[in-house]
Amino acid sequence: MGRLSGKTALVTGAGRGIGRAIALKLAAEGADLVINDLDEGPAAETLAIIEGLGGAARAVVGDVADTEFPDLMIAEAISAFGGVDIIVNNAGYIWNTTIQNTSDEQWAAMLAVHATAPFRLLRAATAFIREAARTETAQRGRPRTRKVVNISSVSGLHGAATQIAYAAGKAALLGVTKSLAKEWGRYNVTVNCVAFGHIETRLTQPLDDGPRSIEVMGRDFKVGLDLATLERIRAATALGRPGSPEDAAGAVFLFCLPESDFVTGQVLECSGGASS
């Protein structure tokens, strides 16, 4: 019996990196999973790993910024596992440039995936959460505790050069977190946020042999950090190293545990003690 047995968790962007590590951590602790990824292949890989460990999981493949996505994700959780207990808004990507080179399309895309998509998924969950809380209160006198963990960034907390659109989206998610914590407290839902610093993923891979990019919906986006930048980050980090996806998943897990049932509206910086 894991710490999360009997609970259903939704994790967006779970096909790779931090999202996959979060999904595997929650599954290892007994949660049933509904995962999402933009691409079918990575989503299927995560499903196979979870099922190989004896867990239960479903996948909803698609763009979290699509207007139909939230209802599909919530409906799958209810259909497959009977409800929703944990929501982790993790999906996202970077599209960096200086402000004079930031287009309206770029600005809108960063806010869509990092702020609007989480808002819509949480809005779509409201009907289930409200009704479940009412039913559980009538039956037991108190609704069960549910959890929301939104994923932000130190860029959203402190800003970052060339990341004005990304940072704006991540900062907006802080406002969503703090506002919804006040609104959903009556349903016994805790709403918290983890802001990551330098975590080793394909977005922060070393550029030791030239530029690299990822494809998102048919468009190539530059990713990675040059070696000089990586060294500056390491030197400014108290622990002297980047975080792993498993480190990141551990921080999210803290907010999913019963021990954090009286913690809400908070932002946890998971950065290895990096100076801003």
Half-sphere exposure of 196 (CA within 13 A, CB side): 26
Is 60 exceeded by the pLDDT of residue 22?
A: yes
Mean pLDDT of all residues in 139-147:
96
User: What local confidence, expressed as pLDDT, does residue 87 receive?
Assistant: 99
Q: What is the pLDDT of residue 267?
A: 98
What element of type H or E holds 228? helix 227-235
Give the domain 8-270 fold.
Rossmann fold (3.40.50)
Parallel/antiparallel/unpaired status of strands 57-61 and 32-37: parallel
Q: Which residue has the higher pLDDT, 119 or 212?
A: 119
Please tell me the predicted confidence (pLDDT) of residue 201.
Answer: 80
Mean pLDDT of all residues in 207-220:
64
Say what the pLDDT of residue 18 is. 97
The pLDDT tens digits for 56-84 are 999 999 999 999 999 999 999 999 999 99
Rounded to the nearest integer, the mean pLDDT of the chain is 93
Please list the residues that pair with 212 across neighbouring strands: 223
The confidence band for 117, taking pLDDT boundaries of 50, 70 and 90, is very high
User: What pLDDT does residue 217 have?
Assistant: 64
Across the range 145-151, mean pLDDT stands at: 98
Helix 245-256 with 17-28: angle, nearest 10 deg: 50
- Report residue 200's pLDDT band, with 50, 70 and 90 as the boundaries: confident
Give me the pLDDT at residue 226, please: 66
Split at pLDDT 50, 70, 90, the class of 202 is: low
Residue 210, pLDDT score:
56
Confidence tier at 190 by pLDDT (50, 70, 90): very high
In angstroms, what CA-CA distances link 222 with 74, 75, 113, 211? 32, 35, 17, 7
Mean per-residue pLDDT, 218-236: 74
pLDDT value of residue 228:
74
Clarify whether 166 is annotated catalytic.
Answer: yes
Where are the chain's structural domains?
8-270
- Using pLDDT thresholds of 50, 70 and 90, give the confidence band for residue 143: very high
Lowest mean pLDDT among 22-36, 88-102, 224-238: 224-238
How many other C-beta atoms lie within 10 A of the C-beta of residue 146? 24
Q: Which of these is catalytic: 69, 93, 166, 184?
A: 166
User: Which DSSP helix (H) or strand (E) runs through 23?
Assistant: helix 17-28
